[in-house]
Structure 1
């Protein structure tokens, strides 16, 4: 015991003079003790008894507390804080995998059985292509109509306000699935027949343009009235004032809610299955019936994540860049 203690003291003396060690000494010592506790006390793989479960939970809470102390220290670098956050999340899932007692072989066979996906990948590619086509066309048209209607709603014309207000109220209150069914199945009785693709696009545009009308209207009306008066004093017309003064500032304000709306639009394309549009989720459901495994649905979840998360991060980066421009 004395030899072990003297070895620790010698090791501490050897590294104590290092500035990086003095800065993170408590972190290193706590991490070493925490890992030593894990090697000596944690129960083996499988579902532990109540005492073992309490030991695992206590050990995780100790690590969670160290990470919390690190995250609240303003002097620690951001990279270290991010690593600590990711480590806490990864450790939780590892402990769940290691000690939950779940039959992971059965989970893999049921939900991640990619060996039974022969012939499905082509359907997936077609479904993803249709989803992207519907999303892009609907997003572009929704932004165009939403911006146009938002500008018109700020003009104060009572006739336009009446019709645009009805459009906003009706299509924000009407469920998307009802709109699609009415457009695809009811309009033919009035002599208007639309292909399933364009019926889905029309329903998405009507709903999302209603939301975006209010988003753009709120963004435009948030610009101080004094800037409009200053633009007029400089001799700028209505169109030039909108292009050069009002809209550049309004776009910076509406980016967060507009992004949320566009992300919801991509997810709402899944509703198009009711009018037989072969989008991604419809293709996945057909593959589930064909292969008799829920693996295609799980795969579609990852496809949505890989599609939408980059969009969210891209808009966040754009928002930060615009905010930096404002500060300057």
Structure 2
């Protein structure tokens, strides 16, 4: 930054200078004109003529431009920016609903026919319970084995690294559906019989522990070597150094990729339908066949969203708390 630019920036801060197009009164006037234009010039409901479609696009772009001006202003409150972002998204879908020309009554009758959902809600509850049971058990075991394998990979033992490397390479390359079918249908030929529930859990653990081993290994190896040497100089042994110095910092680093892996694990439980595990998607597909409507399958999508979005936000909150605690 040049001296002239620094002088201009200091002058703006001193006199609270803002460009005219970023001021609240200018944005309010632009919003008022934008709303009046919508009331006077937007075409009626239905697919518009080419000229009307061009007007709708220009009107939306004008609103999008005002939103961009507000969102790029660092001095505007974050709550206002979030409300603006949400409004832009809602406005887009409202325009699509109003002017796409779609027969929404037919869409509702085809995909959201709740009149045929008698007896399906119990199947949803049972399927969701099984999905959560498989996901929780597999997630806990995957983290335990993934962390163990990740720590062992950092020891530098060639024999251990050979076997763990084979495990990681094989199960990262093997499709989940193949390993699940082999575990459930092939192992009985060698005298090992597992219930469908535990076969699904084992397949998920084998695959996700391979991914998580690499996640934990990368997190552990990202800790500077100087901290390990300092812990050894203070008299801490290898185990104490790992517990008290390395792992607390590594966990903060691996939370984002670990969260993505756990979300994928919950979605991968749907593959268990191939071995007759009565999870959520399996029951939804049975309901589609029973009721002859795709409504149960559409609703299963919303159930997955309602299950996974809170998990994502919870892990983000945990990450922020860990970072805040680290900066104290």
Shorter chain as denominator, the TM-score bin is over 0.9
Q: Which residue pairs with 1:8 in the alignment?
A: none
SS of 1:193's equivalent in the other structure is: coil
SS of 2:293's equivalent in the other structure is: coil
> How many Å separate the matches in 1 of 2:212 and 2:79?
37
- Could you tell me which runs of 5 or more consecutive residues in structure 1 were left unpaired when the two chains were aligned: 1-21
Listed as ranges, the matches of 1:38-53 within 5 Å are: 38-53=38-53
Q: Which residue pairs with 2:120 in the alignment?
A: 120
SS of 1:39's equivalent in the other structure is: helix
SS of 2:246's equivalent in the other structure is: helix
Q: TM-score, normalised by structure 2?
A: 0.92
Q: How much has 1:316 moved relative to structure 2?
A: 0.8
Does residue 291 of the first structure (1) align with residue 291 of the second (2)?
Answer: yes
Cα distance per residue 1:85-106 (max 9 Å; x no partner): 1110000000111111111111
Q: Which residue pairs with 2:175 in the alignment?
A: 175
Q: How much has 1:117 moved relative to structure 2?
A: 0.3
Does residue 226 of the first structure (1) align with residue 226 of the second (2)?
Answer: yes
Over the aligned positions, Cα root-mean-square deviation in angstroms equals 1.0
Q: Which residue pairs with 1:197 in the alignment?
A: 197
Does residue 35 of the first structure (1) align with residue 55 of the second (2)?
Answer: no
> How many Å separate the matches in 2 of 1:232 and 1:81?
48
Q: Which residue pairs with 1:281 in the alignment?
A: 281
Q: Which residue pairs with 1:211 in the alignment?
A: 211
> How many Å separate the matches in 2 of 1:83 and 1:122?
37
315-324 or 33-42, which deviates more: 315-324
Listed as ranges, the matches of 1:309-324 within 5 Å are: 309-324=309-324
Cα distance per residue 1:268-306 (max 9 Å; x no partner): 000001101010000000000000000001000000000
Does residue 254 of the first structure (1) align with residue 254 of the second (2)?
Answer: yes
Q: How much has 1:238 moved relative to structure 2?
A: 1.4
Q: How much has 1:23 moved relative to structure 2?
A: 4.7
Q: Which residue pairs with 1:300 in the alignment?
A: 300
Listed as ranges, the matches of 1:35-184 within 5 Å are: 35-184=35-184
How many matched pairs?
307
Q: How much has 1:326 moved relative to structure 2?
A: 2.5
Q: How much has 1:198 moved relative to structure 2?
A: 0.2
Runs of 4+ in 1 over 6 A off after TM superposition: none
SS of 2:181's equivalent in the other structure is: helix
> How many Å separate the matches in 2 of 1:265 and 1:151?
22
> How many Å separate the matches in 2 of 1:178 and 1:283?
21
> How many Å separate the matches in 2 of 1:250 and 1:242?
10
Q: How much has 1:321 moved relative to structure 2?
A: 1.6
Q: How much has 1:325 moved relative to structure 2?
A: 2.3
> How many Å separate the matches in 1 of 2:28 and 2:158?
69
Q: Which residue pairs with 2:265 in the alignment?
A: 265
SS of 1:285's equivalent in the other structure is: helix
> How many Å separate the matches in 2 of 1:162 and 1:73?
53
> How many Å separate the matches in 1 of 2:236 and 2:72?
50
Q: How much has 1:327 moved relative to structure 2?
A: 2.5
> How many Å separate the matches in 2 of 1:221 and 1:43?
60
> How many Å separate the matches in 2 of 1:183 and 1:191?
12
Q: How much has 1:157 moved relative to structure 2?
A: 1.1
> How many Å separate the matches in 2 of 1:84 and 1:231?
49
Q: Which residue pairs with 2:14 in the alignment?
A: none
> How many Å separate the matches in 2 of 1:279 and 1:248?
35
> How many Å separate the matches in 2 of 1:302 and 1:228?
46
Q: Which residue pairs with 2:236 in the alignment?
A: 236
